[in-house]
Amino acid sequence: MRSGLGVKAARIAIVVALFAIWEILSRTGIVNPRLLPSASDTLATLGDLLQRASVRKDLAVTASEVVTAFALAVPVGALIGFLIAENRYFAEVAKPLLFFAFSIPKSIFLPMFILVFGVGFAQKVGFGFFSTIFIVIMSTTTAVESVKVEHLTVARSYGATPMQTAFRVYLPSMLPVLLEALRISMIFNLTGVILAEMYASRDGIGHQIATWGENFQMKQLLAGVVMIAAIAIAFNELVRWVETRCSHWRT
């Protein structure tokens, strides 16, 4: 999406204004600075935290959990989604069930993950996987269904092998939907892992944020929020950038 300079400027202005309001509310004491430390203090704290070895270690733990859960959920979910989309009977049976499963808030299962996996890496990865896989399955199904029959017939009429059909028709047809799915899946994945960390964990940035909150360390807490937000936005924007590059032909 191309947007004019004016629109971009307005966006930046809104973000700057939000930080300015935050700063003013805190500095003037309209909101108790103990509850809402100023934006500048928070950012300074963030810089501070990023220097700390312990925080970096927490970030590394969270990152490894997120990546593992994602790396498991995406191929498994994509495979299931593909099988469902390709088999009409399977699709008819499974689709409503998937919608049921998708509609249930995943967080209510968290205690069970703790009971089954204990507190640790497996519990967080497991819950991240569980939070992500349904959206991956459903998106893949949509992606496969976005492949046009006409295009498959064209490929067949020119003698395409199954491999050629997969790489020259299925993949490019599905790519825009898949990238979007990847992006949305990551949001679910990150939410799942961090929630699991906040609920019961010994390490990870989610655990840290929960601890700072409980100890009323507002500066650290807000710094942590800003940090996670920035990471999530950065990943999202990266995929969106790839998306626009890969789907310039979409109208």
Q: Could you give the CA distance from residue 28 to residue 150 in angstroms, rounded to a whole number? A: 65
- Beta-carbon contacts of 200 under 8 Å, excluding residues fewer than 6 positions away, are 110, 114, 119, 123
**Interaction between residue 244 and other proteins (CB under 8 A):** no
Q: Smaller CB distance to other proteins: residue 160 or 242?
A: 160
CB of 181 to other proteins, least distance (A): 17
As measured in angstroms, the least distance from the Cβ of 165 to other proteins is 10
Q: What is the nearest approach in angstroms of other proteins to the Cβ of residue 169?
A: 7
d(CA 237, CA 14): 18
- Whichever of 105 and 159 has its CB closer to other proteins, that residue is 159
Interatomic CA distance for residues 50 and 56, integer angstroms: 6
Among residues 2, 88, 202, 250, which is the contact residue for other proteins, using CB under 8 A? 250
As measured in angstroms, the least distance from the Cβ of 84 to other proteins is 23
Residue 103 vs 157, nearer CB to other proteins: 157
Q: Which of residues 158 and 202 has its CB atom nearest to other proteins in the complex?
A: 158
How far apart, in whole angstroms, are the C-alpha atoms of residue 212 and residue 204?
13
- Measured CA to CA, the distance from residue 107 to residue 112 in angstroms comes to 10
From the CB of 1, what's the least distance to other proteins, in Å?
16
Collapse the DSSP code of 158 into the 3-class scheme (helix H, G, I; strand E, B; otherwise coil) and give the result: coil
Q: How far apart are CA 29 and CA 31, in angstroms?
A: 5
**Residues 1-40 vs other proteins: string with x where CB under 8 A?**
----------------------------------------
Chain-centre distance for alpha carbon 109? 19
Q: Show contacts with other proteins in window 128-187 (CB under 8 A).
A: 148, 150-151, 153-161, 164, 168-169, 172-173, 175
Name the strand (E) or helix (H) holding 195: helix 171-199
Q: Which stretch binds other proteins (CB under 8 A): 4-12, 82-90, 194-202, 242-250?
A: 242-250
Measured from the CB atom, the residue of 46 and 169 that comes closer to other proteins is: 169
User: Residue 192, SS3?
Assistant: helix
Return the HEC string of 79-134.
Answer: HHHHHHHHCHHHHHHHHHHHHHHHHCCHHHHHHHHHHHHCCCHHHHHHHHHHHHHH
Q: How far is the CB of 87 from other proteins (least distance, A)?
A: 18
Question: Least distance (Å) from other proteins to the CB of residue 78?
Answer: 20
Which chain residues interact with other proteins by CB under 8 A? 148, 150-151, 153-161, 164, 168-169, 172-173, 175, 248-251
